[in-house]
Amino acid sequence: MSAVLQKLKRFKLRALHNQKKFGVAGRSCEEVLRKACLHLQLPVPGSSLCLYEDGTELTGDYFWSVPDDSELVLLTAGQTWQGYASDISRFLSVFQEPHAELIQAARQLLSDERAPLRQKLLADLLGTVSENIAAETRAEDAPWFEGLESRFRNKSGYLRYSCESRIRSYLREVTSGASLVVTEAREEYLRVVGAMCQKLQAARYNSSYFDRGAKASRRLCTPEGWFSCQGPFDVDDCASRHSINPYSNRESRVLFSTWNLDHVIEKKRTVVPTLAAAIHAAEGREVDWEYFYRLLFTSENLKLVHIACHKKTTHRLHCDPSRIYRAPAAPRRKRPARQRP
């Protein structure tokens, strides 16, 4: 036991709400406390030491069970510490108005941190306080546009392009569905696809879904650019409450590309084959291509989902048989001939 008592234990120590750390070593809790107070020029009476991680007070009985190089916080009379969550809470209390000093403090904490969980919490916090949501143009937020072509001058323009690209890819898949149709019906299939294409062009490929500046009925986000996951195809809402603002910073913009516009009634397994079969079996009836258009390209059948909520399983949902063909027009009733007096 005497050999253990002679061994110096090393700690990293800092004062409350001070990110600057220094090393201190001692053979007892009292010695470490005395050296720390001397270094920081604080009074020993009323002062105490606790673990940075969870706020546990360092006492004589606990001293030797604490690993070397543990991080400690020095508290003076009346001060408390609830663990590293206290740092997070302190940042959260002011992150609505983040200043350069706050961001620098978060970066300093992150650079000194080695525990994976705390690294993630601090990295997420730093990303939040560094957001520039209100900025729209390249001049206002150049880091957001890093890696994008110079033709993109504002955030809304790029996100409209992103949405349009997704819808165009759906159109290409529908066009390739012509191979599912027998030769004699292929011309009609391509005519229907052409009508859908014209409607999409008029709607600018529904690119307004990702545009925070669009009318409320035409976008999937708030005016500030926040998107909420709409949940898997078979539930009404997202249980995890996933949300993202791709307008905030570059990382969020990149992560947003992993979110899916998921077809509730599946495009490739159900909608396109049903359209092809309907055209083949029309027998004089008119296929209601606008019904299929809404299933393929609009929020009537599209849900915006976080990648974790995108179920790859077969949906086992079908098109509505009563909406596949247009109702035949009622014949006009002939007016009775007017009799001459």
Residue 184 CA, distance from chain mean position: 46
* C-beta separation of 59 from 5 below 8 A: no
Q: Which two tokens stand for residue 106?
A: 């978060």
Run of H or E including 243: strand 243-244
**Predicted pLDDT at 132:** 86
pLDDT classification of 1: cutoffs 50, 70, 90:
very low
Task: Please count the CA atoms within 13 angstroms of the CA of 318 that sit on its side-chain side.
Answer: 5
CA–CA separation, 135 vs 156, rounded Å?
11
pLDDT classification of 104: cutoffs 50, 70, 90:
low
CA–CA separation, 304 vs 220, rounded Å?
8
CA–CA separation, 261 vs 306, rounded Å?
9
pLDDT tens figures, 225-275: 999 999 999 999 999 999 999 999 999 999 999 999 999 999 999 999 999
pLDDT at 86 over 70: no
Run of H or E including 33: helix 29-40
pTM, 2 dp? 0.65
Alpha helices per DSSP H over 97-220: 100-112, 116-129, 155-176, 183-202
pLDDT tens figures, 31-81: 999 999 999 999 999 999 998 877 888 888 788 888 888 889 999 998 888
pLDDT classification of 165: cutoffs 50, 70, 90:
very high
Beta-bridge partner residues of 325: 287
